[in-house]
Structure 1
Amino acid sequence: MAASGDSAALAARAAYPANRWLIAAVVGMAAFMEVLDISIANVSLSHIAGSLSASQEEATWVLTSYLVSNAIVLPISGWFSQVLGRKRFFLISIVLFSVASLACGLAPSLGWLIVARIFQGVGGGGLQPVSQAILADSFPPKERGMAFAIYGVAVVFAPAIGPTLGGWITDHASWHWIFLLNVPVGVMLFVVAGMLVRDTAAYEAARRAKMAGFRIDYVGFALLAAGLGCLQIMLDKGQQNDWFDSSFILTMAVIAVSCLSALVLWELFHPHPIMDIRLFRHFNFAVANLLMFMLGFVLLGSTLLIPQFVQSVLGYTSTLAGLVISPGGIAIVLMMPLVGFLSNRIEARWMVAFGLGVVSLSMFHIAGFTGDVSFSQLVVARIYQTLGIAFLFIPLTGIAYIGVPADKTDQISAFINLARNIGGSVGISLVTTWLARRAQFHQNVLVGEITPYDHQYNALVQSLTEHFAQMGAGIEAARQQAVATIGRLVSEQAQIMAYLDDFWLLGVIFAALIPLTLLVGSSRQSDASVRPEH
């Protein structure tokens, strides 16, 4: 009996690729390259605008165009994998992403760059979910945690290092190279992935069987493209256009809500849906998507807030602001293998609850900072936060597969990656809007407390007036300078309080999610549900 069990285990292990760890490195690099391009161009917008004779507002379409096309392709990457074959679609995505990156780097005008970024987003939209699906089917359940750790390093470290790397490349070379560097990497990945990645005979046979009598869901695709496209534009441009006071943003919101609502109803009853909405009937899958949405929310939201805080409030340079963020990314790289190791020994739900708790406490910790916080305190706080994030990605990915049929691997990875990306967009929009609103609120409160009858205010005006008078200003000019100085101090204090409110809000949101993890099923159920067909 023991011998027969051992041979069965060996046979099962042999069914997986012998070079699977090399495959993990290749698909991890592909995901890293794609996620990096979401954030790497952020710090180079002013250089791009100046070089291409465009305004700063026009240059933001370089970011928006990529996010829109990327968001549209992400959820239907599973459908493309079924239609074209997973390996073929993966290689096509690498080629399209690399060629579009070359076009971006050589762009002679802003219009050219925006069109190239659209195609780059289309190519990139297939890289993340297909990479994850390849990992899920290339590794036995006991090794899957470590495999997802490699992928997790890519998708979590990339947005953390992106602004720093983009700033360094722009300062020491030019903005063109943030795109051109993708080309040799893409060529290398295409060659190596072409040799290593395989669609098994069983997978190909199952795919062809599903294609029998298959018809393209044109209506679903149109609703998806319009809905997600308008949603992404609304999120990206909302604060800039004063949200729903703008007829443009209001129109985008109406189209997004109408199309996405219609999409859900249409896909539920379509025999060959472009997105399998019915997967959300699996409770664990639905919870994993919600929590992954929130992971993107806080990761990208805080990655935006912290550099802005240290630059606008503390006067840090762009390079120094990047150095505040980067150690957190390194901490994630170091922690992911440990989390992958623990994922086979500790229930995923407990790891997620722990990660949520750590991130929540780290946000409350940052919310207690003042204007004289030191560089080392900021770095430690960021590392503190990312340690919690490291305990979220791998377990959440595993939870998504619990109880879901094994032939839905492509769809699962597509949805989970879409949730993280849309969560990041919503997080950036919300924290930016909340920051502006809270800064205005605090400024109104502080100004309301300053009156001619306030003895402290009068004493400060008198002291500053004497100071400026000693510097050579006339009495009236000195008094105006004193009042202006107090106004700047009030504005700076209101800005600090607004940032701290944002961090506090993120802490509250993550703390509120902890009880949800108690409802998730045991991760031990996932072993049987995600086995690839061999």
Structure 2
Amino acid sequence: MANAATTGGAGEERVDRSTNPWLVAVVVALAVFMEVLDTTIANVALRYISGGLAISSDEASWVVTTYLVSNAVALIASSFVAQRYGRKRFYLICLALFTIASILCGLAWNLPSLLIFRMIQGFAGGGMVPVSQSILSDSFPPEKRGQAFAVFGIAVVVAPVIGPTLGGYISDNFSWHWCFLINGPVGAFALVLVYLLVQEPEALRKKREEMRRQGIRFDVIGFLLVATFLGALELVLDRGQVEDWFDSTFIIVTSVICVSALLASIPWLLTAKNPAVDLRLLATRQFSSCFIVMLATGAILIATTQFVPQVLQQNYGYTATWAGLALSPGGFVTMVMMFVAGQLSSKVQPKYLIAIGAGIIAFAMYDVTRLNPDLNFGFFVWSRLYLGLGLPLIFIPITSASYAGLRPDQTDQASALINAARNTGGSIGVSIASNVLAHREQWHQSRLVEHVVPSDPAFIETMRNLQHFLMERGSPMADAQNQAVGLIGEQVRMQASYLAYIDVFHVLAVISACAIPLALILRNIDLKAGGGGGAH
């Protein structure tokens, strides 16, 4: 696959730029926007999906996580497959398969069918993002790649923000099925434009022929080991709380499979001739720091996009549409900041921008810990605005920083790993937040119930006042007493829920803050060279 290093320098081979590169950027961004949108569009529709398919809310959450995991797994293979069989051909196949799978998701008749189609959708989408980055890298000269990746960044960062709003509106006014069906016409339109406008560099055709002559094959074993590790890890994180962690045979067996796959993959990937994942990249300070920062960023982006609408619907009584609208202003700020970050990335070292972005995000998460029943719509809008300021300061600079010092043959792997980090981080972030929420809600409820005892003066006074209030409205004394107990129990549950969500946002704030020192240990890059060769 053509990359930053092969497109910069004296003997560079580029695509024919007779087509306006900005037109290519918009077309590619449209396809990526559609793909990334599907990571979150179903978030606020989960309650509708749960009711429509007669499943629990926990089962419905698999609609999100299965997509993220399959997407991350596909990212690992995308680099080689695109090189071996042709970038444009691979991109068109992925886009077509994604569009068909989206329609099938909208037509799903039960949970297993929906999860299967979501997995197909995730696999297809996983191949689109890194190839999109490579197309952009080849379409623009090095000095303009920062602005080009700002357009790409808008799709990657704004789509998860718009997703809940669009998904909420569709679910409230139409049906959750249309959250997926709308990809049909958009995908078909993008497919035609990609076919007509995107070109493949001659260097890629030569490399493909050379790979065929040398008989280079895909590392199936390495890929299966990594896929098993990621899939098992997701199962453990998703089902741990429900299955009571290591008191469950299922969790123990899945954990053993997860660890075994990881341990087996390390020596294999280090010794394989053409490994599915280049582990040596993760052994370098520069790339490993970028990888971990992207994990944390993905965790914050996806977890907040799921849990802010969730708390608004559960604790504040918002509809799915209004819960999604609380995130929308942050999306517009992110859109503007993407262009600002694109300009700054050519003037300021990435490590400083990433550190500032992580600090802003940590503040945004800490600000949400002021959660209480009296908060209005504006509070959640402002909290998302802060997040929208910080995210672009990470996404754009980290692209340049992660490719600094890499050899030309490593950039495609780097692209796949960085994108896999974002999706894997999102999946892990959702799982961690879900477990913290469930565990801390139980803990807070246990502590609060300790004060709800007949000997407690405050409890006695509250019961008396509630009974008097209910009796004045026509309830018999016996019924009023039972109703009062029920109301107090509901208040205890709600207070425990608020406190648990506060704990979730505390954890996300800590995760964000940990990214600051990781950013500062990154080395300086050559800003004039487009970040050490550009970025995918």
With normalisation by structure 1, the TM-score equals 0.91
The aligned residue for residue 190 of structure 2 is 189
What are the Cα deviations for residues 274-293 of structure 1, in whole angstroms up to 9, with x where unaligned?
Answer: 22222223321111111011
1:122-521 to structure 2, matched below 5 A, reads 122-211=123-212, 212-521=214-523
Further displaced range: 517-526 or 390-399: 517-526
Further displaced range: 427-436 or 213-222: 213-222
Q: Is the 8 A contact 2:72 2:421 kept in 1?
A: no
Question: Matched residues in 1 for 2:449 and 2:56: separation?
Answer: 34
Q: Is the 8 A contact 1:405 1:530 kept in 2?
A: no
Indicate how the Cα distance of structure 1 residues 110 and 473 shifts in structure 2: closer, same or farther if over 3 A, else same.
Answer: closer
Question: Matched residues in 2 for 1:145 and 1:16: separation?
Answer: 20
State the 1:180 CA deviation.
2.6
Higher normalized contact order (CA 8 Å, seq sep 6+, divided by chain length): 2
State the 1:127 CA deviation.
0.7
The aligned residue for residue 120 of structure 1 is 121
Q: Is the 8 A contact 2:45 2:320 kept in 1?
A: no
Query: What is the letter of the counterpart of residue 34 of structure 2?
Result: M
Query: What is the letter of the counterpart of residue 218 of structure 2?
Result: I
Indicate how the Cα distance of structure 1 residues 200 and 433 shifts in structure 2: closer, same or farther if over 3 A, else same.
Answer: same
Indicate how the Cα distance of structure 1 residues 110 and 483 shifts in structure 2: closer, same or farther if over 3 A, else same.
Answer: closer
3-state SS of 1:523 partner: coil
Query: What is the letter of the counterpart of residue 17 of structure 2?
Result: P
Q: Is the 8 A contact 2:16 2:199 kept in 1?
A: no
Query: What is the letter of the counterpart of residue 286 of structure 2?
Result: N
Indicate how the Cα distance of structure 1 residues 52 and 497 shifts in structure 2: closer, same or farther if over 3 A, else same.
Answer: closer
Q: Is the 8 A contact 2:338 2:392 kept in 1?
A: yes
Indicate how the Cα distance of structure 1 residues 149 and 368 shifts in structure 2: closer, same or farther if over 3 A, else same.
Answer: same
Further displaced range: 504-513 or 175-184: 175-184
Question: Matched residues in 1 for 2:354 and 2:163: separation?
Answer: 26
Identity %: 43
State the 1:16 CA deviation.
7.2
Indicate how the Cα distance of structure 1 residues 94 and 515 shifts in structure 2: closer, same or farther if over 3 A, else same.
Answer: same
Q: Is the 8 A contact 1:409 1:530 kept in 2?
A: no
Indicate how the Cα distance of structure 1 residues 109 and 499 shifts in structure 2: closer, same or farther if over 3 A, else same.
Answer: closer
Q: Is the 8 A contact 1:105 1:178 kept in 2?
A: yes
What are the Cα deviations for residues 51-101 of structure 1, in whole angstroms up to 9, with x where unaligned?
Answer: 556666655554454334323211111111121122221111112112222
Query: What is the letter of the counterpart of residue 394 of structure 2?
Result: L
Question: Matched residues in 2 for 1:296 and 1:89: separation?
Answer: 26
3-state SS of 2:316 partner: coil
Query: What is the letter of the counterpart of residue 265 of structure 1?
Result: P
State the 1:165 CA deviation.
1.0
Is residue 530 from structure 1 mapped to residue 530 from structure 2 by the alignment? no
State the 1:514 CA deviation.
1.0
Q: Is the 8 A contact 2:164 2:309 kept in 1?
A: no
Further displaced range: 489-498 or 106-115: 106-115
What are the Cα deviations for residues 436-458 of structure 1, in whole angstroms up to 9, with x where unaligned?
Answer: 11112222222223444433222
Further displaced range: 437-446 or 216-225: 216-225
Further displaced range: 75-84 or 97-106: 97-106
3-state SS of 1:42 partner: coil
Indicate how the Cα distance of structure 1 residues 311 and 184 shifts in structure 2: closer, same or farther if over 3 A, else same.
Answer: closer
Question: Matched residues in 2 for 1:34 and 1:261: separation?
Answer: 32
State the 1:403 CA deviation.
0.7
Indicate how the Cα distance of structure 1 residues 426 and 528 shifts in structure 2: closer, same or farther if over 3 A, else same.
Answer: closer
State the 1:321 CA deviation.
1.0
Question: Matched residues in 1 for 2:303 and 2:60: separation?
Answer: 21
Question: Matched residues in 2 for 1:458 and 1:234: separation?
Answer: 44
Q: Is the 8 A contact 1:282 1:404 kept in 2?
A: no
State the 1:422 CA deviation.
0.6
Question: Matched residues in 1 for 2:301 and 2:368: separation?
Answer: 14
Question: Matched residues in 1 for 2:13 and 2:407: separation?
Answer: 20
Indicate how the Cα distance of structure 1 residues 458 and 173 shifts in structure 2: closer, same or farther if over 3 A, else same.
Answer: closer
3-state SS of 2:466 partner: helix
What are the Cα deviations for residues 140-171 of structure 1, in whole angstroms up to 9, with x where unaligned?
Answer: 33222211111111111111111221222233
The aligned residue for residue 3 of structure 2 is none
The aligned residue for residue 79 of structure 1 is 80
Q: Is the 8 A contact 2:236 2:255 kept in 1?
A: yes
Q: Is the 8 A contact 1:62 1:114 kept in 2?
A: yes
Query: What is the letter of the counterpart of residue 23 of structure 1?
Result: V
Q: Is the 8 A contact 1:170 1:178 kept in 2?
A: yes
Question: Matched residues in 2 for 1:253 and 1:103: separation?
Answer: 32
State the 1:218 CA deviation.
2.5
Query: What is the letter of the counterpart of residue 17 of structure 1?
Result: R
Question: Matched residues in 1 for 2:211 and 2:423: separation?
Answer: 29
Further displaced range: 474-483 or 362-371: 474-483
Further displaced range: 156-165 or 173-182: 173-182
Show structure 2 runs of 5+ residues with no match: 1-7
Question: Matched residues in 1 for 2:304 and 2:247: separation?
Answer: 27
Q: Is the 8 A contact 1:364 1:507 kept in 2?
A: yes
Q: Is the 8 A contact 1:26 1:192 kept in 2?
A: yes
The aligned residue for residue 3 of structure 1 is none
Question: Matched residues in 1 for 2:56 and 2:300: separation?
Answer: 30
Q: Is the 8 A contact 1:406 1:529 kept in 2?
A: no
Indicate how the Cα distance of structure 1 residues 448 and 288 shifts in structure 2: closer, same or farther if over 3 A, else same.
Answer: same
Indicate how the Cα distance of structure 1 residues 433 and 36 shifts in structure 2: closer, same or farther if over 3 A, else same.
Answer: same
Question: Matched residues in 1 for 2:313 and 2:508: separation?
Answer: 20
Question: Matched residues in 2 for 1:442 and 1:323: separation?
Answer: 30
What are the Cα deviations for residues 199-248 of structure 1, in whole angstroms up to 9, with x where unaligned?
Answer: 22223323433451413323212212322222233334443444433333
State the 1:45 CA deviation.
4.1
Further displaced range: 108-117 or 92-101: 108-117
Question: Matched residues in 2 for 1:511 and 1:49: separation?
Answer: 35
Indicate how the Cα distance of structure 1 residues 43 and 451 shifts in structure 2: closer, same or farther if over 3 A, else same.
Answer: closer
3-state SS of 1:43 partner: coil
